[in-house]
Amino acid sequence: MRRSAVIALSAGALLSVSALSAPAQAATTAPAAAAAAPTVSAKGAFVLNNASSATVYSKAADTRRQMASTTKIMTAAVVLSTKGVDLNRKVTVKQAYRDYVAKEGASTADLRTGDKLTVRQLLYGTMLPSGCDAAYALADTYGTGSTNAARTKSFIAKMNAKAKELKLTNTKFDSFDGISGGGNNYTTPRDLAKIAQYAMKNANFRAVVKATSYKAAAPAANGGTRTYTWYNTNQLLGSYSGAIGIKTGTGTAAGPCLVFAATRGSKTLVGVVLSGTDRYKDAAKMLDHGFGASTAKTMKLRTLPSNAQRD
């Protein structure tokens, strides 16, 4: 069940290697067995080493599936890769963005018509509460055309162009937020991990997806200042030691999804769960497998406030 994002209105000011092989052991000494790969609930899953791109874990890694709101990773990546992007550019919220989430029953940043938010704030609104209204605002701003529909279609074309640039042959977007009318919004665990790996190269993206919460103060339509408070729907953050992102997604066709990343020591792993009944435990078990750890069994999920979005 989705709930409204938290908003406060005020008239105040803005918030601011490996070693050489050892000699052979005696014939009676058996080599150490590699840790068995964990069993996960996900229908599709994949983990890669961020530095080397080596596969750490794989399950139906090349089977196409819908991805729900993990789509928004590419939405953010396209915005951030725009030449000369100005993260302080102000965007006026249109009633169309609110009407869209109301019609779709979608997750929302609860943007208010006439408020002016920066692109940076809209990125947080897109990625933390999984705001489809914020994603719409970004697509409408960075697409081209004379109408909202033309601009969002143009933006989705940019998402597909980026997927082609990344040589992802099993990924297609027909949506800027994961709400797919025709079902042509799909990827694979391997492709989605590569999208996330690409996005995580951007420092601004990393800053957004690792935040558990964010406050955004914006000029309100009535001349005052409105403060938006958003909580990250990704409960792996603050629950699994070293977690640094990335994005949840849930849909009728897609099921519960999660794109995640964690760093321990000098190693960073990036992974994907598609259609998993226990996505956070799946992620923790795969990360443990990659890190040679055993913390998944005792992991306790960070609790979201009652008024936070769920995705």
Taking alpha carbons only, the member of 150, 164, 156 closest to residue 182 is 156
Does 52 participate in catalysis according to the annotation?
Answer: no
Q: What is the pLDDT of residue 17?
A: 36
| Average pLDDT rounded to a whole number, residues 102-130 | 98
CA distance 150 to 164: 21
Is the distance from CB of 141 to CB of 91 less than 8 angstroms? yes
Q: Which of 21, 41, 58, 72 is catalytic?
A: 72
Q: Which residue has the tokens 């103060």?
A: 217
Q: Is 10 helix (H, G, I), strand (E, B) or coil?
A: strand
Whether the bond between 73 and the residue before it is cis, its omega within 30 degrees of 0, is no
Quote the percentage of the chain above a pLDDT of 70: 89
- Residue 13 reports pLDDT greater than 60: no
Q: Which of the residue ranges 14-18, 233-237, 261-265 would you say has the lowest mean pLDDT?
A: 14-18
Q: What is the pLDDT of residues 190-203, one digit of tens each?
A: 999 999 999 999 99
Q: What is the pLDDT of residue 61?
A: 98
Q: Is 306 helix (H, G, I), strand (E, B) or coil?
A: coil
Q: What is the pLDDT of residues 268-282, one digit of tens each?
A: 999 999 999 999 999
Q: Which of 59, 107, 130, 158 is catalytic?
A: 130
Q: Which of 69, 107, 175, 275 is catalytic?
A: 69
Q: What is the pLDDT of residues 156-192, one digit of tens each?
A: 999 999 999 999 999 999 999 999 988 899 999 999 9
Taking alpha carbons only, the member of 66, 76, 150 closest to residue 120 is 76
Q: What is the pLDDT of residue 20?
A: 32
Higher-pLDDT residue of 1 and 170 is: 170
Q: What is the pLDDT of residue 34?
A: 61
Q: What is the pLDDT of residues 55-78, one digit of tens each?
A: 999 999 999 999 999 999 999 999
Conformational region of residue 272, where left means phi above 0, alpha means psi within -120 to 50, and beta covers everything else: beta
DSSP state letter for 71: G
- Residue 18 reports pLDDT greater than 90: no
Does 69 participate in catalysis according to the annotation?
Answer: yes
Q: What is the pLDDT of residue 3?
A: 45
Q: What is the pLDDT of residue 12?
A: 37
Is the model's pTM score more than 0.75? yes
**CB-hemisphere CA count at 13 Å for 90?**
9
- Residue 84 reports pLDDT greater than 90: yes
- Residue 4 reports pLDDT greater than 70: no
Strand partners, 245: 261
Q: What is the pLDDT of residue 106?
A: 97
